[in-house]
Structure formats: structure tokens, C-alpha cells
Structure 1
Amino acid sequence: MAVSEKTRKIIWGEAGGRCAICRAQVVTPGTDCDDPSVFGEEAHIVARSKGGPRAGLLDDASIDSHTNLVLLCSKHHKQIDDQPGHFTVDRLLEIKAKHAAWVRSLGEATPGRLKLVPDPGFPQPRILKLITRGNPLWNMIKSSVTFEYALPDGLPEEDEDLILEFLGLVQDYYDIAADLHSVRENRDAEKVLQSYLSKLAEHNFLVGAFVRHMLLIDGSGQEGMAWPMLRVEVQPALLATITDENGRPYPSKQPSAGVHDEEQRA
């Protein structure tokens, strides 16, 4: 038995077109030449297959019911299936119910509804932290729910390709960070990031990053959802100003990316 079209409409309607875990919209806007991209998935709470996560708790007639499905982004669909010990049936039903209640509350919110505002519980970063090792960047990636970047224009093709490879790697690790659990997996990620930081330093580029703590609010007066945003910038070393943590430039000659610890800023 497959999921019916009516069931799909119920799932997407109850979820407001958003992942029940991260609440991100699961349809991206279209472009001037392409349709919108859909990365929402109707995930089974109790698996359809006998060997699947949380399997064996429902009869066949109920497996594809809307009560056994939850709308998730592709990242969190994989996470709940990889971590059934944490994402139990009861936990997923609770997540689904809370998300549906949140979506319903949006109808009572003020116009404009969802927006990001600075989290008053955290100081807002003013300058980028100079990143010279894989470990600090990896920790930033793991603690963030969204990612943005910047790179200079007018670069030689070789340099731009290297920077794009690095930023693509950051994006890939951001997408799978929740799925890497062992110390070995995390350490391997740090080493790969470190290798790209070293390559960029050899090409005279500095990498700066910070995590901006934001709140996603809906205008209903309810407490906002934490929404830490990772920003990564790659800039030519000759154009960057190295400062102390208060933003005061160092009087000495600007050093290369490979000789400073993360307490200094770019």
C-alpha cells in the first residue's frame, strides 16, 4: 500500500510545508529557468519494512496513514532513521504534535509572521574569528542550523575553484554533521577541514568565521526558536586586517593565516 495523494496533502498541510524538526521550508523558490526544488519527505514514524527503524508496532493498514507520517527535510529524515534509539515513536509523535500546534499558531500571529531577530541572550559578533585549525570550524558547523558565506570577486580561476571547493565542503559537513557521532568521525572531519585551511593559507587566503545567535519568531508572542547562523568568509591575506578581540588592529606586519590562534580576529 502506498501513501495516497490525500494523505500527502494532509501531512503537508498540517506541517505548513516545513520540517517538523528544524521548521525550515522544504520547498526552495524557483529560478528564471527552473522549477522550485522540493526536499521535503513524508517520513514513516513506524517503518514500513520489517527491518526498518521502529518497525513492528503497527498493522499494515495503518503504516501509510497520515497518523504514522511526519514531514521532514531530507537531512532530518535520515537522522531519525539512523538514530531510532533517540527518535522513538513517542518522541516523534510529540515532535509532530508540537510542530502542528506551532503551525496552527501562525494563523493567529501578526502579519509578516516568521522573522529572525538577534538573540538577546548572546552578544552579537562584530568581527570574524580567524580560523587556522579544523577543530574550531568543525565545532561552529556542528552548533549551527544555517550557513552563509562570502568570497571576493575577480579572483583567478584556480583560486576561485579552491575557495568554492572549501565552501562546498563546509556546506557538505553542515548537512551531515548530525550524523557523525564517533570521535573518529569528528576527528576525520576536522582533518579534512584543516587540509583545506592549509591549502588556502598557501595561496595567501585567510578564513574568518563566526556564529551569530538569532531567534526565529512567529509574531504570536511565544518564545522564539534558537537559530544560530554560521558565517564563513575567505579573503586575500593582503586585504585583511588582523585585530585583537576588541577590534584594534595589530601594529605589526600582518601575518599569514597559518601562525595565529583562534583568539585573534580577521
Structure 2
Amino acid sequence: MEEDVQIGEMAHVIAKSASGPRGINGQVNDNSYENLILLCSIHHTIVDERPDEYPIESLLKMKNEHESWVASQLDQSKEYKADLESLKLLSRYMPLLQLRAMATELPRKVSLDFDITDIFENFLKDRPTAYPFWDRDLTSYWQSFLNDTYEISDWLGGNMIDGKLITHGQILRHMVEEPLDYYGINNYVHNQNYLVLNSRDLSSSDYDVVEHNVRRAASKFLGSHSNLIQYIRYNYRELGW
């Protein structure tokens, strides 16, 4: 039974002596809190035997991330739990982890499951006080992710008229307020479970415009999506991502 017990050990980020792992001349016997990190005996040995793999910056980053996680566990506030429940509900109906792979197929095609706008709007109708989240950083990451998703959706559902994008929302408003004789060519068309760039009907110039802008929007989306997922993974580990 005792063989399975791991005892925590206080390790030095910068070694106690200049000749030790990650040692620095002139900085010895630093037992300050900032220079100490709690490790199990096994990992204490590993990081000291492999200082090149575990430099000072890596250990400090590891320490800060772990302390942030511990703080979130100890501060299971009402607001934190509310945000966690919202994320659980959203991830149940949104393919959040799969969206990145879907976006990498743009601009040529994208899965119909990429369109999450209706799902989020229905979430807001059911839980109008759930967003913005209590966690301001989470709200910031989520809003950037949403904005980039909406930009892609505008191109996916829009039409081209005289070299300009007319979004689906603009088309609907025109149909009610200011009917047009011509609503342009669909940027994307349905093909089984995908929306596919409309190479058949778009002019070559319009095709180039759509392809360029969707490629740019997809690149922005990949960045904001990665930032959001990374933040959730570190701060809402109960989701098990």
C-alpha cells in the first residue's frame, strides 16, 4: 500500500548552488516562495536530472498554472458553478471541440454542424442571464470566438452582388423593407452534409473574393477557438476536455 503513496517535496526552481540544476552564479540559497515549487519525489528527480527539458521558465509556468487551477478548485463560488453549468450545457449541444477540424476544411467546404448560431441564440432564450459569463476572461474569449464564427457564417450564408457580400440577414431585411429584383449568387451550396463553395455559379472574380475572405476569417477563428478551448481546459477542468 505504501508503494502507491507519493510524498510532496519542495523543489528549487533555481538551484541552491550555482553548480546545481538551473543554477545561476550569484544567486544561491534562494528559499523564497517564488523560487520553490511543490513536486512529487519522482518528478523532483526528473526535473533535476533533465534541466534542459525543464528550464526555469517552464517550471515557473508549470507552477503558475497549477496554482491557478488550485485556486479555482478552492473557490467553488456560486458564480463559478453557474458558468460551469452553462459550459456543460453549451458543450452538450455544440460540437465545440470538433469545430477546429471543421474550420480547417474552409474555404472549400465545411460541415453543416459548423453553424452554431441558432444553438447559442436558443441557449440565450432559455437562459437570458447566463451570458455574459461571471468570469470576465471567459466572456472575452467566448465573445471573440463568437464574433469570428459569425463572420464566417455571414460568408457561408451570404450572396455576392456586384462584387460585394450581401449577408443572409441583409437579404431578409431587403425582402421585407426594400425588395430587390436580384439577390445574387449563393456563396455556398448544400452538398450532402456540407456547404461547398459555389464554384459552378460564382464568377471567377466573386469566387476569388469569397475564397480570400473566408480563408482569412477561418484563420482568425482558429486562433480565437484555440484560445477559448485552452482557457476552459485550464480553468474548468471538471468538463474533462
**TM-score with structure 1 length normalisation?**
0.28
More helix by share: 2
Q: Which has the larger radius of gyration?
A: 2
Which of structures 1 and 2 has the larger relative contact order (alpha carbons within 8 angstroms, sep 6+)? 1
